[in-house]
Amino acid sequence: MELKTLTTIVVLATFAIYIGIAIWARAKSTSDFYVAGGGIGPVANGMATAADWMSAASFISMAGLIAFQGYDASVYLMGWTGGYVLLALCLAPYLRKFGKFTVPEFIGDRFYSKTARIVAVICLIVASITYVIGQMKGIGVAFSRFLEVDYSTGLYAGMGIVFFYAVVGGMKGITYTQIAQYCILIFAYTVPAVFISMSLTGNPIPQLGLGSEMADGSGMYMLDKLDMTLRDLGFAEYTAQKGSTMNLFFLTLSLMIGTAGLPHVIIRFFTVPKVSDARKSAGYALLFIALLYTVAPAVGSMARLNLMNTIQTGPIGQAESNLSYAERPEWFKNWEKTGLLKFEDKNGDGRIQYYNDKSESFAPIAAKAGWKGNEMVKVDRDIMVLANPEIAKLPNWVIALVAAGGIAAALSTAAGLLLAIASAISHDLLKGVFRPDISEKKELMAGRIAMAGAVLLAGWLGLNPPGFAAQVVALAFGLAASSIFPALMMGIFNKRMNSQGAIAGMLAGLFSTLIYIFWFKGWFFVAGTAMSPDTAEHWFLGISPGSFGAVGAIINFTVAYAVSKVTAPPPEHIQQLVEDIRVPRGSGVASGH
């Protein structure tokens, strides 16, 4: 069957499943809408959490980053998985024991302040909106290629699907939809990885294929072959560290504590019946996530090797060594239609030269061959996972499966984020601050209206994202790390932390990180010129905008502690509340304490 037809059938079939689940699990109360009635079991919740977590950044973009950054991109694997350990140990069970619907509600009650709740809502919306931009980028990429439409049309189609099943089903519908989406995305990610690992190394297990010998009889190990290929074309070796150790450390820390502070992930632990189930959910989620994350390094490295070998068809520097543009494969033509892959014939020879034209060591070789610069002027990293099965010439059903998986990953996280935003507006602002007497029916309607507005805003921002999906998501993690995570940690583990300290800390962490991101991402302009270029020599202590969340968290903690020391302590009943959250029920009974 022709690829477009097959892909359309597979994708529409998955959409039918999502919409059917949304109708079946339609939210009938605010409890259903916000926390699925609190009746989701730990295994099911762990699977839904994994789908909520494994966004377009994980499925589509992370392997793309690994493909092009190599060793340095390992921080995404360490930070994002390490954050779940932190979440399981330090936050999930205590927040579930508190028994509220949302993160701002916990912060408002713990710090006995409507102002604290409002500030928490602001932090949540800023982080979630930034995060959802990355998901919309992934939706647009997947739809634009496999339905053969332009990026914006693909984005609008994805918005429509999210709008329907998230607005109708609420958390209850989203939870069961995410379980289905997890099954689809994990199958779609691992199946092509097995095929490609077998093709390149003869090993059907991608995690082992990454360290296996090539199946071409060369006797070289896969990573050695990739290093040599990149080095020969002037690129940095795949396994070499390229960034500073300081920046890698802060990026890992930012991703880790950002994970533990993400509201759309935390809210999932309010959906289980018991406190112990919250901890079990986090454990199951980590297991389900590991099934994809351990495969991602193999997917990224093999995608890069396949891409280089497709274009570089012969010995480097010879006239016939590069792929003829006129004879480019079908996958190349298809991705060119999306605008995410672009070629420019700089020397007019009709062949594709793909190399690092900034490499001084390779410059003489390029000049001798008559090359005038890198002619692959755009290779969007977010296409690598989706294009990899086509590059490897896998069967059409595998390619269609990957399309469905990529769309499922983007839709699942987008829905969770939009629900977090909607609940913050309807439950925390409207009911919690401005209209405490609002009826449950009107609050439910307000939640759905807020989600519809969030879908429209996210789609508009997704039309012009400030970077690759995983890069945008890293910024969102930095914002969550600098604002929400410290407030939660201090709210649970520090009885002396008061409302003044928490509010000052959240504002200091959020705005310091926002200013740093805006400054270096060039979103502030003076006379049409960015105020500061986004380059390592201009970064504070060599710390990139995506890594600054950890610094923002330090600022948050420092300001909060300083302010709390010079202001009145929390009321006695609040301090007792903190004790009740931390200490398990029944502790000390046997000993009489």
pLDDT (tens digit per residue) in 510-560? 999 988 887 776 544 333 444 455 566 677 778 888 889 999 999 999 999
Bridge partners for 530 per DSSP: 525
Given this model, what pLDDT does residue 435 score?
A: 80
- pLDDT grade for 483, boundaries at 50, 70 and 90: very high
pLDDT score of 466 more than 80 = no
Given this model, what pLDDT does residue 490 score?
A: 93
Given this model, what pLDDT does residue 531 score?
A: 46
Helix (H) or strand (E) holding 526: strand 525-526
Given this model, what pLDDT does residue 390 score?
A: 84
What residues contact 249, with CB distance under 8 A and at least 6 apart? none
Rounded Cα gap, residues 394 and 494, in angstroms: 55
Given this model, what pLDDT does residue 589 score?
A: 38
Q: Quick: pLDDT tens for 250-298.
A: 989 998 898 888 777 777 777 777 777 777 887 888 888 888 888 989 9
Mean pLDDT score across all residues of the chain = 80
Helix axes 469-493 and 572-582, enclosed angle (nearest 10): 110
Query: Which long-range CB contacts under 8 A does 355-359 form with residues at least 24 apart?
Result: 355/233, 355/234, 355/235, 356/233, 356/234, 356/235, 357/234, 358/234, 359/234, 359/235
Q: Is the dihedral of CA 79, 84, 89, 92 positive or negative?
A: positive
Are the C-beta atoms of 165 and 500 separated by less than 8 Å? no
- CA distance to 96, 109, 203, 254, per residue, from 104 (Å): 14, 9, 49, 21
- pLDDT grade for 588, boundaries at 50, 70 and 90: very low
Given this model, what pLDDT does residue 22 score?
A: 67
- pLDDT grade for 508, boundaries at 50, 70 and 90: very high
Are the C-beta atoms of 477 and 251 separated by less than 8 Å? no
State the amino acid at position 536 in one-letter form: A
pLDDT score of 501 more than 90 = yes
Nearest to 154 by CA among 56, 65, 49, 58: 56
pLDDT score of 487 more than 90 = yes
Query: What is the secondary structure of 229-254 as a DSSP string?
Result: HHHHTTPPPTTS--S-HHHHHHHHHH
Given this model, what pLDDT does residue 119 score?
A: 92
Q: What is the pTM of this model?
A: 0.79
Helix (H) or strand (E) holding 378: strand 378-379
Bridge partners for 312 per DSSP: 322
Rounded Cα gap, residues 178 and 44, in angstroms: 9
The more confidently predicted of residues 365 and 455 is 365
Average pLDDT value for residue range 371-400: 84
pLDDT score of 23 more than 90 = no
Given this model, what pLDDT does residue 387 score?
A: 84
Calculate ∠ Cα 83-85-90, nearest 5°. 95
Mean pLDDT check: name the lowest of 122-131, 312-321, 475-484, 488-497. Answer: 312-321
The more confidently predicted of residues 29 and 272 is 272
Helix (H) or strand (E) holding 571: none
- pLDDT grade for 13, boundaries at 50, 70 and 90: confident
- Give the distance from CA 483 to its chain's centroid: 18
Which letter does DSSP use for residue 101 in this model?
S
Average pLDDT value for residue range 192-209: 91
pLDDT score of 379 more than 50 = yes
Structure tokens at 402: 């990957």
For the chain, give the longest Cα–Cα distance.
87
Are the C-beta atoms of 350 and 325 separated by less than 8 Å? yes
pLDDT score of 34 more than 60 = no
Average pLDDT value for residue range 413-427: 75
Instruction: Give the CA dihedral 460, 465, 468, 471, nearest 10 degrees.
Output: -100
Given this model, what pLDDT does residue 86 score?
A: 84
Rounded Cα gap, residues 348 and 534, in angstroms: 33
Average pLDDT value for residue range 479-492: 91
Nearest to 587 by CA among 260, 106, 97: 97
Average pLDDT value for residue range 16-36: 65
Query: What is the secondary structure of 252-272 as a DSSP string?
Result: HHHHHHHHHT-HHHHGGGGSS
Structure tokens at 175: 């939870």
The more confidently predicted of residues 494 and 279 is 494
- Give the distance from CA 175 to its chain's centroid: 18
How long, in residues, is the chain? 593
State the amino acid at position 344 in one-letter form: E
Mean pLDDT check: name the lowest of 82-91, 277-286, 458-467, 558-567. Answer: 458-467
State the amino acid at position 4 in one-letter form: K
- CA distance to 128, 257, 387, 419, 517, per residue, from 527 (Å): 31, 37, 40, 39, 20
67, with CB counted inside 10 A (0-12, 13-18, 19+), is buried
Are the C-beta atoms of 240 and 74 separated by less than 8 Å? no
Nearest to 25 by CA among 213, 167, 222: 167
Mean pLDDT check: name the lowest of 165-174, 231-240, 327-336. Answer: 165-174
State the amino acid at position 218 in one-letter form: S
Mean pLDDT check: name the lowest of 14-28, 191-205, 308-322, 517-531. Answer: 517-531
Q: Is the dihedral of CA 470, 476, 481, 486 positive or negative?
A: negative
45, with CB counted inside 10 A (0-12, 13-18, 19+), is buried
pLDDT score of 366 more than 90 = no
Q: Quick: pLDDT tens for 118-168.
A: 999 888 888 888 777 777 777 777 777 666 777 777 778 777 777 776 666
Average pLDDT value for residue range 333-341: 82
> How many Cβ atoms sit within 10 Å of the Cβ of residue 181?
31
- pLDDT grade for 488, boundaries at 50, 70 and 90: very high
The more confidently predicted of residues 235 and 98 is 235
Given this model, what pLDDT does residue 243 score?
A: 80
> How many Cβ atoms sit within 10 Å of the Cβ of residue 435?
14
